[in-house]
Amino acid sequence: MSSMLEVRDVAKYFGGVKALDGVSLTVPEKGLIGLIGPNGSGKTTLFNVITGFYVPDRGSVLFRESNDLVRIDGLNPNEVFKRGIVRTFQIPRLFNSLTVLENLLVTPLGQRGENPVRALLRNSWSAQERELAKKAIELLKAFNMLRYANSKISELSAAHIKMLETIRGLMTPAKLYLLDEPAAGVDYLMAKELFTYVRRLRDEHNLTFFIIEHRLEILMEYVDYVYVLHNGKLLSEGKPQEVISDPKVIEAYIGV
């Protein structure tokens, strides 16, 4: 299977801290790939490098663009998004003064009404706006959240917040999803539901997922392949069962 994302020998240092120290990994197209590792092992930093928040001190990040792999390291986050990468955050970042529906409607690029001159002429954008609203409603229905359409973010449960942050990317033709601890703070059943949705998205929409998660008991049930980071280096990789029984991994987790 061809790769969607390739990280090649990436290093990122913060002063003396080697947050990433030569990491290479591949996320295949339509993969559901896990990224685990003890606290401070560099997982979020890797996401930050991929999405353009940090320029790596060494190495490169490549992303699929039709039939080629193109370098995306060094691009700004907004440009990375435009290439087709959506991310969520360890601590969710939604727009708190907007409703759930509006949070979804912010996402699509190329909205006519975002142009200040066209914004003045309602007729020039209202048809597109209605289309987008219908699309957002379909999404909310599919994820059982329609009744929250007009709710403020503060009225949602932790699980719904994580879910909303994930599905807002579906308002665009994004290809790769980077989820940072989607199950954190979510109860067991909801977390499983969330991962079931993710798997459905992968299967039905041909999307690719790269997921950081500390709750291994849930993650391992869903992913096809797992990478393990430790002190900024790749410690192990493989199918979930292989990784879980790898003595190095067990030691890293218990040794912390």
Partner 1 sequence: MIGFDIVGFMISWLTLFGIYAILALTLNLESGTAGITNFGKVVFYGVGAYVSATLTAYLILILNGVDVSETPPYGIRGIILLGELGNKNPLLNIGLLVLSLVIAFAVSGVLGYLLTYPILRVGPAFVGFTLLSSGELLRIFLQHYEPVGASKGLMAIPTPFGWIADSRLREVTYLGLVLGLLAVTYVVTHRLVNSPLGRTLRALRDDEIAALCLGKHVPRIKATILFIGSGVAGMAGVLLTYYLTSVNPNMFVPAVTFNVWAMIILGGFGNLKGSLLGASVITFVDRVLTFVTPQLGIAAISPDYLRWVIVGLLIVVVLLVNPRGLLPEKPIRTPAVDVILEEFRGESK
- Which residues bind to partner 1, rule: CB under 8 A? 51, 76-79, 81-82, 86-87, 89, 93-99, 101-102, 105-107, 109, 111-116, 119-120, 122, 125-126, 129-130, 132-134, 136-137, 146, 149-150, 168, 172
Least distance to partner 1 from the beta carbon of 154, Å? 12
Least distance to partner 1 from the beta carbon of 127, Å? 8
CA distance 154 to 100: 10
> Crossing angle, helix 158-167 and helix 188-205, to 10 degrees?
10
Task: Check binding of 99 to Mg ion (CB under 5 A).
Answer: no
In this structure, the number of other CB atoms found within 10 A of the CB of residue 18 comes to 16
136 binds, among partner 1, Mg ion, ligand ATP, none (CB under 5 to 8 A by kind): partner 1
Least distance to ligand ATP from the beta carbon of 44, Å? 3
* Contact code string over 168-197 relative to ligand ATP, x by CB under 6 A: ------------------------------
CA distance 95 to 93: 7
Task: Check binding of 44 to Mg ion (CB under 5 A).
Answer: yes
**CB nearer to ligand ATP: pick between 7 and 101:** 7
> Under a CB-based contact definition with an 8 Å cutoff, are residues 33 and 47 in contact?
no
Selected binder of ligand ATP within 31, 34, 42, 182 (CB under 6 A): 42
94 binds, among Mg ion, partner 1, ligand ATP, none (CB under 5 to 8 A by kind): partner 1
CA distance 129 to 108: 10
- Rounded alpha-carbon distances, angstroms, from residue 53 to 1, 34, 72, 139: 29, 21, 12, 29
Indicate the helix (H) or strand (E) that contains 244. Answer: helix 240-244
